[in-house]
Each structure stands twice: as structure tokens, then as C-alpha cells.
Amino acid sequence: MAGERVEVVLVYQSLLGIYGDRGNATVLVKRLAWRGFDPVLTVVEPGDPLPDSGNVYLLGGGEDAAQISAVRALQADGGLHRAVERGAAVLAVCAGYQIVGNSFTVGDNDDVIEGLGLLDVTTTRGPVRAVGEILSRWQPAANGGGQVPLQSRLRATPGQLFLEENRWPQEQTTPLRAATTAIPGFHLLR
């Protein structure tokens, strides 16, 4: 594997980079290089064809209008679907995660926007914004063995994620502050 070329594709940074998501690309490329791979970073913006030759695709966070623009451009392009069908990995954070699901809601009217359907999940707005630290314990799939130790992380999202057919492993979450008590007991690890 040493010297093997790995193409990391940063998708629509101008739309899906609200949280400094380019840092994920920078860290991934650096870590690949440390491990002897030959990483190549490809940055693709809306209007450019999305290569389906990448090994890893990174989609970051964005506001509603940017998220809608990004999903429509990705639907029209088709490159991400072809890449995933070929076996490429996707790291999708925040809006990017919602985009790869079946649908997500936006705006005051909770308008439903069709996603890419790469994950069989939907995202809707919760009754209150879920903000704060949570403890999580990863629950592997029934055939995946035991539990993983507790992990602490920050969550700030207005959405609730629903598994369409309970096909993915879940985590059990425990709020650490009163501000997070509206978080349902189970969520996908994102």
C-alpha cells in the first residue's frame, strides 16, 4: 500500500464549508501522507464536474440555501452516486450528512427536500435545537459484537435523524447538560 495514490475530493467548499470543513481534507491528506500513501486533494466547486474516480469524498456543513443548491447540483451531476457505487467512501458532516440521506427539511415551513438517497435516513427539525455535550456509547449491529467505551462530543443541531429501516448501528446518547434533554435516546453516530 505504501505509495498508493489516494484521491480525496472536497465537494463544494464554497457551499458546504461553513464550519471550516476544509480542515477535514487537510487532516486526511496529511495523515495519509504520514502513513506512506500518495494523497491527492481535488477541490470541486458547483458547476465543475464531480470526478467519480476519488477514493474519499468530503461534504461539510452549510446553511439551508447552500444545502439545497449543493444537493441539486449533486443530483444533476451524478458523480457522487457513481463513485459510491464503485466503492468510494464518503465523510459527510452536518448539512453534508443530511444531503446524502433520502430527504431533509428546511425553513420555517419545514419544506421537504429530496436528498441523494445514499443513506436510508431522513432528517427533520426537532422540537428544540439540541446543543451541548453528550456521552455516547456505540451500539454495533447485532452481528458486530460488544459495546465501545463511552465517547464525549459536542452536538449542535436543529435536526432529528430517523433510520428508515433500522439498518445501521446506533449509539445511545446521554445528555450532559439540561440544554440537551430534548435529544431522543437513540441517534446515528455522526
C-alpha distance from residue 79 to each of 129, 143, 177 (Å): 33, 32, 41
Q: Confirm if 123 and 103 have CB atoms less than 8 A apart.
A: yes
Q: In this predicted structure, what is the pLDDT of residue 147?
A: 45
Confidence of residue 183 (pLDDT cuts 50, 70, 90): very low
Q: State the angle between helix axes of 79-86 and 64-77 in degrees (0 to 180), rounded to the nearest 10.
A: 70
- What would the pLDDT profile of 50-104 be if each residue is shown by its tens digit? 999 999 999 999 999 999 999 999 999 999 999 999 999 999 888 998 999 999 9
Show the cell assigned to 162.
430517523
Q: How much is the pTM?
A: 0.73
**CATH 3.40.50.880 boundaries in the chain:** 5-119
Q: What are phi and psi of 41, to 5 degrees?
A: -100, 125
Nearest Cα neighbor of 8 from 48, 59, 42 is 42
Helices (H), the chain: 22-34, 64-77, 79-86, 95-100
CA 8, CA 26: separation in Å to the nearest integer? 10
CA 34, CA 32: separation in Å to the nearest integer? 5
Based on the number of CB atoms within 10 Å of its own CB, is 162 exposed (0-12), middle (13-18) or buried (19 or more)?
middle
- Written out in words, the top-level CATH class of the domain with range 5-119 is alpha beta
- What would the pLDDT profile of 94-150 be if each residue is shown by its tens digit? 899 899 999 999 988 889 999 999 988 888 887 776 666 655 554 544 545 544 444
Report the run of H or E that residue 43 belongs to, with start and end.
strand 38-44
* Residue predicted with more confidence, 175 or 44: 44
Q: In this predicted structure, what is the pLDDT of residue 177?
A: 37
